[in-house]
Structure 1
């Protein structure tokens, strides 16, 4: 990719961010890309985030992170790092280093369950060096939501503490795993109140995983449904079951592939049917870092929960074509499909971890 082509690519990323409502700016006629300055990295760098920060009314680091999520969807780009006050550093995919699918899948598998989280001093984040104190009202849903918001913010580089405005029952921590970090009262101007619509019933009988999911899946302004049906039923109508089942299936495929004598290797999945399903998955995996940043910014765990359901619904049909059938020998395409399935399972596991929910390998 030439600098001129890369300039157009960055400009298209700005356009997509504007069209999606993430940025409210006039799309520049031209974006300048140059070799990175001292302290930068990659093949090229752009200061477009700094230029757009003032008209967008957002910090340059936040603008850079928004653009990063869109740029990573381009098959010619291997990686994006944000350095300094908001410089975007672009690493291009080398010829022969693999397909777009291979590059992205390799990035997910190397990142593991932490894929999508900000790495200090490399990715940059508007939350780095930020101190946030969450103060949930003394209500079970508020305490659980605050717990997950704290996890999301920490994954974006923020320092977070929480303290409930009352004495939270010990069972909320013992059963649901939601505890406040401290009990000190911060200055009134420094804390963020967490006050979602209260739970209409006690979620403790659902247990940790189903109880947390019931409180987290609806948006904060929506009334959660706290009952055994649908949250404890093991069938497709239960979104949590689909997410955990999809994760367990990806792990089972890895075990079955090992029995057949082959393992995952990122690359081209091959075949028209496989390519169609892979494209959907690749888009969702590439979008995962942006989803995590968005959920942290909005203090909205439901954004991540709904994303995990979408990933699960995309990966389950794809899994049917991963392993060889009958006398078919494992091929490069099978290894690449297995790698993509494992990457999807990794994203599901990492997302469930941030929600405080178990991701079992067997279900």
Structure 2
């Protein structure tokens, strides 16, 4: 279950409460579901998703947020894949998934592959620079948005839209000659459109460079798959409690699972806000989470170990992370080398 899928479950629960006369509110078209950070997440049964919809609807419903949350809690507790729903603070709904639901999300990512995080929007998506002959940043941003909006299920306004980022003075051929196409695109897209871009003098092929780190992380996921094949085993999604027993392992697994789960919502938000930088930043988060997870939860056997269900489960997470990295880089127009 992804945050987007749980969001739909919340909307269905609100609609059910309205139809049954429990609530008198306008059923929302969309509900924000976030993945909590820090120690609140947990493969050991912590919070996977949090939602504040009860507080948003309370005034219209003429009830307290806690009352609304209580009504929704009863309905959401029966949703397949939900282990428990708790009310926190003024009316937040904190949701814990079953181990099977977490494994199911990873399996879904592997099955969908390039389609994961792509809403399959159709129709013409057109962006243009603010003025004729505008700079390279507007052109690169428009090109990325023409991929991001359909993926996020968002349409442009009739007649197309105009992008107006703060420009750079350098021409595209000169940028590519100095930085390479991948680095040039990353630098132009990673910065929010309203902020000035700081162009590096040259590309840096090491992990201090975020673009290189993202591509490197993707290449490492590919290497894990190749090496596992040589050892005679393949990925098989598993309950995270079965693939990481220590506190450090649990934290690393939680962070990686959250990054994988949040990707579709990130693409949708990037589309709504016309903000390719949101995709780039999420790729950094995913890459860092995967590299940390690799260090404490190696997907390959170490020393005299034999391949086991633990390794198959960790490999599945690695491949799911690789799917997110590849899909996001594609939206930005950046290559995905499987070896670096």
TM-score of the superposed pair, with normalisation by structure 2: 0.69
Match of 1:194 among 140, 148, 163: 163
Cα gap change, 1:70/1:191 in structure 2, threshold over 3 Å: closer, same or farther?
Answer: same
RMSD: 3.5
Indicate yes or no: 2:312 matched with 1:335. yes
**Structure 1 position 193, deviation (Å):** 1.5
- For 2:334 and 2:156, locate their aligned partners in 1 and report how far apart those are by CA, in whole Å: 20
**Structure 1 position 192, deviation (Å):** 1.9
TM-score of the superposed pair, with normalisation by structure 1: 0.65
- For 2:79 and 2:119, locate their aligned partners in 1 and report how far apart those are by CA, in whole Å: 17
Gaps of 5+ in 2: 1-5, 42-46, 50-75, 84-97
User: Displaced runs of 4+ in structure 1, greater than 4 A?
Assistant: 9-14, 73-76, 128-132, 158-161
Indicate yes or no: 2:158 matched with 1:204. no
Residue correspondences, number = 268
Range that drifts further, 338-347 or 260-269: 260-269
Indicate yes or no: 2:211 matched with 1:236. no
Contact 1:99 1:267 in 2 (8 A): yes
Greater relative contact order (CA < 8 Å, ≥ 6 in sequence): 2
- For 2:168 and 2:82, locate their aligned partners in 1 and report how far apart those are by CA, in whole Å: 52
- For 1:254 and 1:238, locate their aligned partners in 2 and report how far apart those are by CA, in whole Å: 25
Cα gap change, 1:13/1:308 in structure 2, threshold over 3 Å: closer, same or farther?
Answer: farther
1:149 is aligned to 145
Report which of the two has the higher share of helix.
Answer: 2
Indicate yes or no: 2:81 matched with 1:93. yes
- For 2:269 and 2:113, locate their aligned partners in 1 and report how far apart those are by CA, in whole Å: 20
Contact 2:35 2:48 in 1 (8 A): no
Cα gap change, 1:259/1:224 in structure 2, threshold over 3 Å: closer, same or farther?
Answer: same
Aligned ranges 1:1-363 → 2 under 5 Å: 31=14, 33=16, 51-53=26-28, 60=29, 63=30, 66-67=32-33, 92-93=80-81, 99-119=100-120, 132-137=125-130, 138-158=134-154, 190-202=159-171, 203-205=175-177, 206-229=179-202, 232-268=203-239, 269-272=243-246, 273-320=248-295, 321-363=298-340
SS at match of 1:250: helix
Cα gap change, 1:129/1:51 in structure 2, threshold over 3 Å: closer, same or farther?
Answer: farther
SS at match of 2:14: coil
- For 1:10 and 1:207, locate their aligned partners in 2 and report how far apart those are by CA, in whole Å: 40
Contact 2:228 2:300 in 1 (8 A): yes
- For 2:118 and 2:300, locate their aligned partners in 1 and report how far apart those are by CA, in whole Å: 31
Q: Deviations over 1:223-265 (max 9, x none)?
A: 1122344xx1111210001000000001001111111111110
Gaps of 5+ in 1: 1-8, 15-29, 38-47, 54-59, 77-88, 120-127, 162-188
Cα gap change, 1:271/1:298 in structure 2, threshold over 3 Å: closer, same or farther?
Answer: same
